[in-house]
Amino acid sequence: MQKSAENIKPDCSDFRSVARALTVVENDLQGAGDLLKNLSFKKDTPVIGITGPPGAGKSTLVNSVIGGLLADGNKIAVLAIDPTSPFNFGSLLGDRIRMAPHFNHPGVFIRSLATRGSLGGLSAKTIEMTDVLRAAGFDYILVETVGVGQSEVEIAGLADITLLVLVPESGDEIQNIKSGLMEIADAFIINKADRPDADHFANNLAKIVHQQKGEKIPVFKTVASTGEGIDAVTAFIQSAQHKKNIRKELLLAEKAYKIIQQRRMANVDKKALQQNIAKALSEPGFNLYGFLDSMTP
């Protein structure tokens, strides 16, 4: 007999229960609200946000970090977020391929999901799904976000620790990214550090960050594909999880805002909206604002 949604209790010792709970929440199936309200958090599981521009090697880095965290017998959950096509609303969800070495590991749960049009690098359901994983009792939760630019500061409203992944070639763009992404990072990771100018970039980055934030933020150099430098990143994650989170109120306020926003937009069918616009475009004198007035009471 199939359990009703509200009676599903996600437990990291039973990945099927976790998968079912995530599916209910992600798709807002019947009982999703009750399931969320009945979540019980028995341990303070750290949420690690991993963000950065496309091509920085975030998925490869996550794959290597998983290996380091597993060494102590931990249970690891990964939410890997892929962009959604604005044209067909599909998503490749290819992170499982890049994390193939851990896909069948009994201590690793990997879930890919799409942004579904969210511009901030996070799926609208990411917050709720992260809380499902926290309630399941995992030791670490890694959230890898889409590299879409400065709007990725949303990750600061979800994660306890935020890691910003860059590559040596980012040096030419450092002035453009520091005003947004740079300010949310608890540590910086220069991946693909075997490339030219990696040391120079790392030194400049450390100086800029110190000037901007007035404090010393760790800058790690890694080659995720070979595992070089991963031990230092893993040690930072393990030590940082025990520090008091001075942004707790801010994080909860951001989470609450996102959930309220999501609920108020629940009745907006983006695909139907596109179809209605396509139909309206065939009429002469189409005006977007007049079209929106006709759709809202």
Asked if residue 245 and residue 202 are part of one domain, the reply reads yes
Asked if residue 214 and residue 69 are part of one domain, the reply reads yes
Asked if residue 294 and residue 221 are part of one domain, the reply reads no
Q: Where are the alpha helices (DSSP H) in the chain?
A: 15-26, 32-37, 58-70, 95-98, 126-136, 174-177, 198-213, 230-240, 248-264, 270-280, 288-295
CATH number for position 218: 3.40.50.300
Asked if residue 273 and residue 126 are part of one domain, the reply reads no
Asked if residue 126 and residue 221 are part of one domain, the reply reads yes
Asked if residue 86 and residue 177 are part of one domain, the reply reads yes
Domain for residue 221, yes or no? yes
Confidence of residue 87 (pLDDT cuts 50, 70, 90): very low
Domain for residue 254, yes or no? yes
Buried/exposed 141-164: b ≥16 CB within 10 Å, e otherwise: bbbbbbbbbbebbbbbbbbbbbbb
Asked if residue 289 and residue 155 are part of one domain, the reply reads no
The pLDDT value given to residue 77: 96
Domain for residue 10, yes or no? no
Q: How many domains does the chain have?
A: 2
Distance CA 140, CA 244 (A): 16
| Cβ within 8 Å of residue 261, ≥6 positions away | 124
Asked if residue 232 and residue 273 are part of one domain, the reply reads no
Domain for residue 30, yes or no? no
For 228-277, the pLDDT digits (tens) are: 999 999 999 998 766 655 666 776 787 788 788 878 887 888 888 999 99
Domain for residue 293, yes or no? yes
pTM equals 0.82
Residue 206 confidence (pLDDT) above 60: yes
Asked if residue 275 and residue 232 are part of one domain, the reply reads no
Domain for residue 50, yes or no? yes
Asked if residue 272 and residue 256 are part of one domain, the reply reads no
Asked if residue 84 and residue 218 are part of one domain, the reply reads yes
Domain for residue 7, yes or no? no
For 25-73, the pLDDT digits (tens) are: 998 899 998 999 999 998 889 999 998 887 888 989 999 999 999 988 8
60 near 95, Cβ under 8 Å? no
Domain range for residue 54? 42-264
Domain for residue 155, yes or no? yes
Asked if residue 256 and residue 274 are part of one domain, the reply reads no
The pLDDT value given to residue 88: 40
For 104-158, the pLDDT digits (tens) are: 789 999 998 876 545 444 656 888 899 999 999 999 999 998 665 544 566 767 7
